[in-house]
Structure 1
Amino acid sequence: MAFVLHVVGARPNFMKVAPLMAALARRGVSQRLVHTGQHFDERMSGVFFEELGLPRPDVDLGVGSGSHGEQTGKILVAFERVLLESAPRPSAVVVPGDVNSTVAAALAAAKLGVPVAHLEAGLRSFDRTMPEELNRIVTDHLADLLLTPSADADENLAREGIGAARIARVGNLMIDTLRTHLPKARALGVPRALGLEPGGYAVVTLHRPSNVDDPDTLGRLLGALAAVARELPVVFPVHPRTRARLAGPGLAEAASALRLIEPQGYLEFLSLTSSARLVLTDSGGLQEEATALGVPCLTLRENTERPVTVAEGTNEVVGTDPERIVRAAHRALSGAGKRGRIPALWDGRAGERAADAVLALAARDGAG
Structure 2
Amino acid sequence: MKLTIIAGARPNFMKIAPIIAAIEEKKREGFRIGYRLVHTGQHYDKNMSDSFFEQLGIPEPHANLAAGGGSQAEQTASIMIRFEQELTEHPCDLILVVGDVTSTMACSIVAKKLKIRVAHVEAGIRSGDITMPEEINRLVTDAITDYCFTTSVIANTNLQREGKTPDQIIFVGNTMIDTLLQQRSRFMAPPIWQQAGLQPQGYIVMTLHRPANVDEEDNLSLLIQEIMRTTRDLPVIFPVHPRTAKNLEKVAVEHPRLHLVPPLSYLEFNYLVEKAKAVVTDSGGITEETTVMGVPCMTLRDSTERPETCITGTNELLGTDPVALAPAMQRLFDGQWKKGAIPALWDGHTAKRITQKLLELFAVKQEPVGML
Which residue number corresponds to residue 35 of structure 1?
A: 39
The CA distance in 1 between the partners of 2:359 and 2:220, in whole Å, is 45
Instruction: Report the alpha carbon displacement of residue 79 of structure 1 after superposing the two structures with TM.
Output: 0.5
Q: Map 1:1-368 to 2 at 5 A.
A: 2-28=1-27, 29-86=33-90, 89-186=91-188, 191-192=193-194, 194-248=196-250, 251-254=251-254, 257-363=257-363
**8 A contact 2:299–2:317 mirrored in 1:** yes
Structure 1 residues 302 and 235 mapped into 2: Cα distance closer, same or farther (>3 Å)? Answer: same
The CA distance in 1 between the partners of 2:299 and 2:135, in whole Å, is 17
Alignment root-mean-square deviation, CA = 1.6
Secondary structure of 2:304's partner? coil
Structure 1 residues 137 and 128 mapped into 2: Cα distance closer, same or farther (>3 Å)? Answer: same
More deviation, 211-220/286-295: 211-220
Instruction: Report the alpha carbon displacement of residue 209 of structure 1 after superposing the two structures with TM.
Output: 2.0
**8 A contact 2:38–2:65 mirrored in 1:** yes
Instruction: Report the alpha carbon displacement of residue 213 of structure 1 after superposing the two structures with TM.
Output: 1.4
**8 A contact 1:106–1:139 mirrored in 2:** yes
Structure 1 residues 259 and 229 mapped into 2: Cα distance closer, same or farther (>3 Å)? Answer: farther
The CA distance in 2 between the partners of 1:311 and 1:244, in whole Å, is 34
Question: Letter of the aligned partner of 1:265 in structure 2?
Answer: S
The CA distance in 2 between the partners of 1:330 and 1:191, in whole Å, is 25
Question: Letter of the aligned partner of 1:117 in structure 2?
Answer: A
Question: Letter of the aligned partner of 2:267 in structure 1?
Answer: L
**8 A contact 2:190–2:269 mirrored in 1:** no
**8 A contact 2:221–2:253 mirrored in 1:** no
Structure 1 residues 258 and 190 mapped into 2: Cα distance closer, same or farther (>3 Å)? Answer: closer
Question: Letter of the aligned partner of 1:64 in structure 2?
Answer: G
Instruction: Report the alpha carbon displacement of residue 361 of structure 1 after superposing the two structures with TM.
Output: 3.6
The CA distance in 2 between the partners of 1:217 and 1:257, in whole Å, is 20
Instruction: Report the alpha carbon displacement of residue 217 of structure 1 after superposing the two structures with TM.
Output: 2.6
Instruction: Report the alpha carbon displacement of residue 193 of structure 1 after superposing the two structures with TM.
Output: 5.6
Write out per-residue CA displacement over residues 63-94 of structure 1, whole angstroms, 9 at most, x where no aligned residue.
111111111111011111100010xx212111
The normalised TM-score by structure 1 is 0.94
**8 A contact 1:181–1:267 mirrored in 2:** yes
**8 A contact 1:92–1:358 mirrored in 2:** no
Structure 1 residue runs of 4+, over 4 Å off? 186-190, 254-257
Instruction: Report the alpha carbon displacement of residue 229 of structure 1 after superposing the two structures with TM.
Output: 4.1
Secondary structure of 2:47's partner? coil
Secondary structure of 2:123's partner? coil
The CA distance in 2 between the partners of 1:207 and 1:143, in whole Å, is 29
More deviation, 225-234/53-62: 225-234
**Identity percentage over the alignment?**
48
**8 A contact 1:299–1:316 mirrored in 2:** yes
Write out per-residue CA displacement over residues 282-323 of structure 1, whole angstroms, 9 at most, x where no aligned residue.
111000000010000000100100000000000000012112
**8 A contact 1:278–1:333 mirrored in 2:** no
Question: Letter of the aligned partner of 1:164 in structure 2?
Answer: P
Instruction: Report the alpha carbon displacement of residue 258 of structure 1 after superposing the two structures with TM.
Output: 1.6
Which residue number corresponds to residue 370 of structure 2?
A: none
Secondary structure of 2:253's partner? helix
The CA distance in 2 between the partners of 1:107 and 1:17, in whole Å, is 20
More deviation, 193-202/77-86: 193-202
**8 A contact 1:225–1:258 mirrored in 2:** no
Q: How many residue pairs get matched?
A: 359
Unaligned segments of structure 2, at least 5 residues: 28-32, 365-372
Structure 1 residues 68 and 182 mapped into 2: Cα distance closer, same or farther (>3 Å)? Answer: same
